[in-house]
Amino acid sequence: MNSDSLTRAYTLLLKRDLILAIRRRAEMLNPLLFFVLVTSLFPLGIGAYPELLETIGPGIIWVAALLAAMLSLDGIFRSDFEDGTLEQFLLSSHPVSVLVLAKVLAHWLITGLPLLLVAPLLGILLGLPADAIRTLLLTLLLGTPVLSLLGAVGVALTVGLRKGGMILSLLVLPLYVPLLIFAANAVDTAAAGLPVTAHLSFISALLVLALSLSPLATAAALRISLS
């Protein structure tokens, strides 16, 4: 095995997952529609109070993004498990952790990137100031890949279970809590006109840590689930 064949395998797997997602447009749009609907319903539910919406807006957007990402987590490996492709990944001469990264990137492009593009409009809807919206975009850019990376570990552990959705939520949600706290707090801090360097540095550290450890943990979890 050489680097060229590994790069080709990574690219082909990424392209394959994106093509399959495009063919299943309805499933691809579900997380985005959920994100928009949940965020849009809050002003209707609590009333048009600009100061209140500005205060709770960052938390609303981030919780909605977290739940929207979880809606599609099970699809990272489920179809591959059902058609036997996942077993071929484990038998491949290529490192499983690299193949996992390709699938996680595909999941982020399908789920996380659309959320990132729609978030500014929802920030305007909730009355967030311009500085807060810019910080919101930065936190989503850094944080949504973490959601996919950590979620992949939970999916790998439960992929062999018939009804693993509840167990997946119990495994993944506690891991998301630190990211949720720091990301929402960063947007609040930006709205108050204060520096957010510390918050963004922490989220960046979470991203680096997840990129370093999550593919290895996911590969090990897949071996356990399919053994």
Q: What Rg do the C-alpha atoms of the chain give, in angstroms?
A: 18
Other Cβ atoms within 10 Å of 59 Cβ, number: 17
pLDDT for residue 2: 64
User: Residues 6 or more apart from 209 whose CB is under 8 A from it?
Assistant: none
pLDDT for residue 171: 84
Total-model pTM = 0.90
Task: Choose among 109, 137, 111: nearest CA to 123.
Answer: 137
Torsion of CA 125, 129, 130, 134, to 10 degrees: -80
pLDDT for residue 164: 61
Task: Choose among 36, 32, 37, 100: nearest CA to 72.
Answer: 32
- The 8-class DSSP code of residue 150 comes to H
**Low-confidence residues of the chain: pLDDT under 70:** 1-3, 162-165
Tens of pLDDT, residues 102-153:
999 999 999 889 999 999 999 888 888 889 999 999 999 999 999 999 999 9
Q: How far is CA 143 from the centre of its chain?
A: 7
pLDDT for residue 12: 87
